[in-house]
Amino acid sequence: MQQAIALSAPRETRRQQHFGDPIFAVLATLSGIFVLLLMGSLILSLFIGGLPAFRRFGIGFLFSAEWDPVHEAFGAAVSVYGTLLTATLALLFAVPISFGIAFYLTELAPSWLRRPVGTAIELLAAVPSIIYGMWGFFIIVPIMSQYVEPTLIDTFDGIPVLEDLFAGPPFGTGLFTAAMVLAVMVIPFIAATMRDVFETVPAVFKESAYGVGCTTWEVMRSIVLPYTRVSVVGGIMLGLGRALGETMAVTFVIGNSDNISGSLFSSGNTIASIVALEFPESPAGSLKLASLLALGFILFVISFIVLAISRTLLRPRLKV
Amino acid sequence: MSASTSSVELHPGPAKDLAVARSLGRRRHRTNLIVKTLCVTATALGLLLLASILFTLLWNGFGGLSLSVFTNTTKPPGSNGGLLNAIVGTLIQTGIGTLIGTPIGLMVGTYLAEYGGHSALSNAVRFVSDVLLSAPSILIGLFIYQLAVEPFGGFSGIAGCLALAVLVIPIVVRTTEDMLRLIPSSLREAAIGLGAPKWKVIVLICYRAAKDGIVTGILLAIARIAGETAPLLFTSLGNLNWSVSLGAPMASLPVTIYQYAGSAFEDWVQLAWVGALLITVGVLALNIAARVALRGRS
pLDDT along chain B (298 residues), means of 10: 45 67 91 96 96 96 91 88 94 97 96 91 94 94 94 92 97 94 92 91 93 93 95 92 91 94 90 96 95 72
Nearest CA in chain A to B171: A320
One-letter amino acid identity for A97? I
Q: Which residues of A touch B64 (CB under 8 A)?
A: none
**Distance separating alpha carbons of residues A29 and B111, to the nearest angstrom:** 6
**Distance separating alpha carbons of residues A105 and A119, to the nearest angstrom:** 11
Q: Which residues of A touch B46 (CB under 8 A)?
A: 97, 101, 120-121, 124, 187-188, 191
pLDDT of residue B5: 45
Max Cα–Cα distance, chain B, nearest Å: 92
**Distance separating alpha carbons of residues B216 and A45, to the nearest angstrom:** 32
pLDDT of residue B43: 97
Kindly compute the dihedral angle of the four CA atoms of residues A162, A164, A166, A168, in this order, to the nearest 10 degrees: 160
3-state secondary structure chain B: CHHHHHHHHHCCCCCCCHHHHHHHHHHHHHHHHHHHHHHHHHHHHHHHHHHHHHHHHHHHHHHHCCHHHHHCCCCCCCCCCCCHHHHHHHHHHHHHHHHHHHHHHHHHHHHHHHHHCCCHHHHHHHHHHHHHHHCCHHHHHHHHHHHHHCCCCCCCHHHHHHHHHHHHHHHHHHHHHHHHHHCCHHHHHHHHHCCCCHHHHHHHHHHHHCHHHHHHHHHHHHHHHHCCCHHHHCCCECCCCCCCCCCCCECCHHHHHHHHHCCCCHHHHHHHHHHHHHHHHHHHHHHHHHHHHHHHHC
Nearest CA in chain B to A134: B261
The closest of A87, A301, A255 to B139, measured between CA atoms, is A301
% of chain A beyond a pLDDT of 90:
73
Please give, rounded to a whole number of angstroms, the shortest distance from the CA of A96 to a CA of chain B.
8
The closest of B29, B48, B32 to A103, measured between CA atoms, is B32
Q: Which residues of B touch A300 (CB under 8 A)?
A: 135-136, 139
Q: What is the mean pLDDT of residues A116-140?
A: 95
Model's pTM, two decimal places? 0.91
Nearest CA in chain B to A283: B150
One-letter amino acid identity for B296? G
Task: Return phi, psi of residue B172, to 5°.
Answer: -65, -40
Angle at the Cα of A186 from the Cα atoms of A42 and A178, rounded to 5 degrees: 90
**Distance separating alpha carbons of residues B131 and B177, to the nearest angstrom:** 16
| Residue A165 vs residue A113, higher pLDDT | A113
pLDDT tens for each residue of A19-60: 888 999 999 999 999 999 999 999 999 999 999 999 999 888
Q: How far is CA A93 from CA A149, A177, A232, in A?
A: 16, 12, 16
Residue A166 pLDDT greater than 50, yes or no: yes
Task: Return phi, psi of residue A128, to 5°.
Answer: -60, 150
**Distance separating alpha carbons of residues B133 and A14, to the nearest angstrom:** 40
> Residues 151..170 of B with a Cβ closer than 8 Å to A: which?
166, 169-170
> Which range, A162-171, A295-304, B233-242, has the best average confidence (pLDDT)?
A295-304
With CB atoms and an 8 Å threshold, state whether B146 touches A308: no
The closest of B131, B206, B95 to A28, measured between CA atoms, is B206
Q: What is the mean pLDDT of residues A244-265?
A: 90
Residue A2 pLDDT greater than 50, yes or no: no
pLDDT of residue B6: 45
**Distance separating alpha carbons of residues A215 and A235, to the nearest angstrom:** 25
Q: What is the mean pLDDT of residues A298-319?
A: 90
Q: Which residues of B touch A124 (CB under 8 A)?
A: 46, 49-50, 53
pLDDT of residue B16: 65
**pLDDT-derived band of residue A17, with 50, 70 and 90 as boundaries?**
low
Nearest CB to B107: which of A31, A36, A220?
A31
Interface check B35 vs A, CB under 8 A? yes
% of chain A beyond a pLDDT of 70:
93
With CB atoms and an 8 Å threshold, state whether A216 touches B41: no
Q: Which residues of A touch B146 (CB under 8 A)?
A: 45-46, 48-49, 293
Sequence-ordered alpha helix ranges (H) in A173-286: 175-198, 203-211, 216-219, 225-245, 248-253, 271-278
Q: Per-residue DSSP letters for A19-77?
A: HHHHHHHHHHHHHHHHHHHHHHHHHHHHHHHHHHHHHHHTTHHHH---EETTTTEE-SH
**Distance separating alpha carbons of residues A71 and A272, to the nearest angstrom:** 23
Q: What is the mean pLDDT of chain A?
A: 90
Q: Which of B229, B259, B268 to mutate to test the interface with A (most CBs of A within 10 A)?
A: B229
**Coil, strand or helix at A126:** helix
Cβ–Cβ under 8 Å, residues A297 and A62: no
**Distance separating alpha carbons of residues A247 and B103, to the nearest angstrom:** 28
pLDDT of residue B44: 97
The closest of B243, B231, B229 to B272, measured between CA atoms, is B229
pLDDT of residue B15: 57
